[in-house]
A = this chain, B = another copy of it.
Amino acid sequence: MEDYHSILNNIARYVELSETEKEKFTSIIKTTRIKKRQFVIQPGYVCEYRNYILKGAVRVFYLDDQGKEHTVSIGIEDYYFADFTSLITQEPATHFAEALEDSIIFQMKYEDIEKLCAEIHGLSEYFRKITERAFASSRKRIVANIGKTSTQRYVEYAQKYPNIVNRVPQYVIASYLGISAEFLSKIRSRQ
């Protein structure tokens, strides 16, 4: 029996579910342990699961034509990740998800969530609300990428997520912020 306390707590911040509903939800969860550097999602394979990080750290990234890595998301505890395009279309992924530490994740099959959202109104509301938040912060990131200098982006990110900056390799942060690893090093040396 796993500890669903933290994910149910996350849900409770947005909606109230009955005990039966909570049980139905936790019954679709598969718990997976992954080792550092292990891939959870890989290009070519459909992203079957919506993943929740119970413990550890995971990043989602893709490789461009020149083989350069671009990190799309960095998540630690209490964070969802997926190749969302692949997840909602159920077409092959284009992104990797890689454990940055030994981690424990909860995996929920796309179809199971869809069925449960159709059945449980509160759950539909929950995913609607967290996706709205995710969308708004994605918009904020676009704004930051377009409108700010690399230095500003790094300083603000480090201020907002000091724990991530301390846990995760610098080249990952760089590729998340859209800066070369070398230039991020130079930014840091000037601070």
Contact = CB atoms under 8 A, between A and B. Distances in A.
Contacts of A143: 62, 70, 72
A48 to B, nearest CB: 16
Interface string A148-167: 10000000000000000000
Size bracket, chain A contacts? 20 to 34
Interface stretch (A3-11, A51-59, A130-138): A130-138
A136 B72 contact: no
A1 interface: no
A30 to B, nearest CB: 21
B136 A68 contact: no
A79 to B, nearest CB: 14
Most buried by B among A117, A128, A138, A178: A128
